[in-house]
Amino acid sequence: MNSNHDENENEPVRVELKYCEHCGGLWVRQRGAGVVYCDNCQPKVADLPVPKKQPSKVILPVRPHTAVEDYEFEIEIEDETDFEAAGGVA
């Protein structure tokens, strides 16, 4: 009798850190699992009524861009030595 039990024994189990979307607690789940509630909250959430309508697409409010007219940016350099190194090694 040939078994795959020995092969699976050395294979690592991949897990990911997840927060419960009901209580906010942290727990570890198997990678790729679609579970979003911890074991304590799973029965509580199962008892909640199913929403009647699907949530609509969220649209964020957008304001028009602010335009600044007649704005000029000038740099006046009084002394060119202001930008020279103060001596020493950087």
Q: What's the total number of domains in the chain?
A: 1
Whether 75 is covered by a domain: the verdict is: no
Domain range enclosing 23: 11-48
Whether 19 is covered by a domain: the verdict is: yes
Whether 2 is covered by a domain: the verdict is: no
Whether 44 is covered by a domain: the verdict is: yes
Q: Find the angle CA(10)-CA(14)-CA(16) to the nearest 5 degrees.
A: 155
Longest CA span, the chain: 91
Q: Residue-wise pLDDT tens for the chain (90 aa)? A: 455 555 567 788 899 999 998 999 998 998 888 888 999 999 988 888 887 887 788 888 888 877 776 666 666 666 655 555 555 555
Q: Which two tokens stand for residue 5?
A: 């039990």
**pTM above threshold 0.75:** no
